């Protein structure tokens, strides 16, 4: 048996995406998925599936590079919007906007342009004190679908991201772990970010939920907005939000890199 996939890059975040509406891939193990990620050098796998929610066009299941399913991936969600609209030619139920479920929430986004995604899980604003984990001018904790710790630095290039990221990610105050972001201010509403991602257990070229967390923390603490440009190693993301953060959008380029087949043993 073979499974067809599309390989995507969203500002350097890489994924294999599968149409799993027939549930043929659902029973495969996490070890199987981890092997696919390792073999194809991607950050994770995305499965477009049928949703039980009548308001949703589809369900997005996300599996990290370690084979574990997690709550959300911002760049993954924007990639699956491209897959739904451009590859599968699905028709959104709400005009130009798709609605889809994830592990914990309902999201909306467009399947073209810069694939803007309405971020619907913004919570736990500085709920956990992380100021002792890294010497920083500004530190913050925020969950933007997945948990993130944030630390401002003067020189992003001099941060030992692997050592510090791993240490912070496994701190006991995070029962399920935390993604770790270091950021450097570049000017008004412009910031550079590097991210250590749990599940990948290393630096990724981009992290949409991490970029969103950094932008919102700067909006909250420094009055930035209504649009923040976030430079990540893989490209440029933009996060737009209103004054009370009730509407938050993540957008940026998405590229289809390859179509292929995988053997299922």
- Sorted by where each starts, the structural domains of the chain and their CATH numbers stand as 2-120+253-263 (3.10.310.10), 139-244 (3.10.310.10)
Summarised one tens digit per residue, pLDDT across range 194-223 is: 999 999 999 999 999 999 999 999 999 999
SS3 annotation, 188-243: CCEEEEEEEECCCCEEECCCHHHHHHHHHHHHHHHCCCCEEEEEECCEEEEEEECC
Which residues lie below 8 Å from residue 262, measured CB to CB, with a gap of 6+? Answer: 2, 3, 4, 5, 16, 36
Residues 64-116: tens digit of each pLDDT: 999 999 999 999 999 999 999 999 999 998 889 999 999 999 999 999 999 99
For this structure, is 207 an active site residue? Answer: yes
Does 37 qualify as catalytic in the annotation? no
Separation between Cα atoms, residue 25 and residue 265, nearest integer Å:
11
Q: Are 93 and 86 in contact (CB under 8 A)?
A: no
Q: What is the pLDDT of residue 94?
A: 86
- Of 16, 37, 207, 239, catalytic: 207
The predicted model gives 135-145 an average pLDDT of 97
Average pLDDT, the chain: 96
Alpha carbons 104 and 68: distance in angstroms, whole number: 16
Rg (CA), the chain: 18
Sequence-ordered list of residues with C-beta below 8 angstroms from that of 251, at least 6 positions apart, any chain: 78, 113, 114, 115, 116, 117, 237, 238, 239, 240
pLDDT at residue 1 greater than cutoff 90: no
pTM over 0.85: yes
> Of the listed 42, 60, 70, 73, which one is catalytic?
73
Please name every residue paired with 4 in a beta bridge, in sequence order, or none if there are none: 261
Residues 6+ apart with CB under 8 A from 187: none
Classify residue 135 as exposed, middle or buried by CB count within 10 Å of its CB (0-12, 13-18, 19+). Answer: exposed
Token pair listed for 240: 């737009």
Share of residues in the chain with pLDDT > 70 (%): 100
pLDDT in tens, 232-252: 999 999 999 999 999 999 999
Local confidence band at 263 (pLDDT 50, 70, 90 cut-offs):
confident
**Residue 96: which H helix or E strand, with range?**
none
Better-scored residue on pLDDT, 265 or 107: 107
C-alpha dihedral (236, 81, 46, 76), degrees to nearest 10: 20
User: Residues of the chain with pLDDT > 90: what percent?
Assistant: 96
Looking at residue 141, its pLDDT comes to 98
Identify the pLDDT of residue 264. 82
Residue 261 has pLDDT above 90, yes or no: yes
């Amino acid at each position: 048996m073979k499974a067809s996939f599309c390989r995507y890059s969203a500002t350097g975040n890489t994924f294999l995406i599968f149409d799993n509406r027939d549930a043929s891939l659902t029973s495969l193990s996490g070890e199987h998925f981890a092997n696919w990620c390792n073999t194809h050098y991607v950050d994770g796998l995305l499965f477009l599936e049928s949703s039980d929610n009548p308001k949703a066009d589809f369900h997005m299941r996300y599996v990290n590079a370690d084979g574990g399913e997690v709550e959300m991936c911002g760049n993954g969600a924007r990639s699956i919007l491209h897959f739904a609209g451009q590859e599968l030619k699905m028709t959104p139920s709400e005009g130009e906007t798709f609605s889809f479920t994830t592990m914990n929430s309902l999201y909306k986004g467009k399947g073209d342009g810069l694939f803007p995604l309405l971020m619907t899980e913004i919570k736990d604003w500085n709920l956990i004190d992380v100021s002792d984990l890294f010497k920083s001018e500004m530190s913050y904790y925020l969950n933007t679908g997945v948990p993130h710790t944030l630390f401002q630095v003067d020189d992003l290039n001099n941060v030992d991201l692997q050592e510090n990221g791993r240490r912070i990610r496994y701190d006991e105050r995070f029962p399920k772990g935390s993604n770790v972001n270091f950021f450097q201010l570049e000017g008004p509403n412009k910031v550079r970010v590097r991210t250590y991602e749990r599940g990948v257990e290393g630096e990724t070229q981009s992290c949409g939920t991490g970029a969103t967390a950094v932008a919102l923390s700067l909006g909250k603490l420094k009055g930035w907005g209504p649009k923040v440009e976030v430079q990540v190693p893989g490209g440029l993301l933009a996060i737009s939000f209103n004054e009370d953060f009730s509407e938050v959008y993540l957008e940026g380029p998405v590229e289809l890199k390859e179509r292929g087949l995988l053997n299922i043993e």
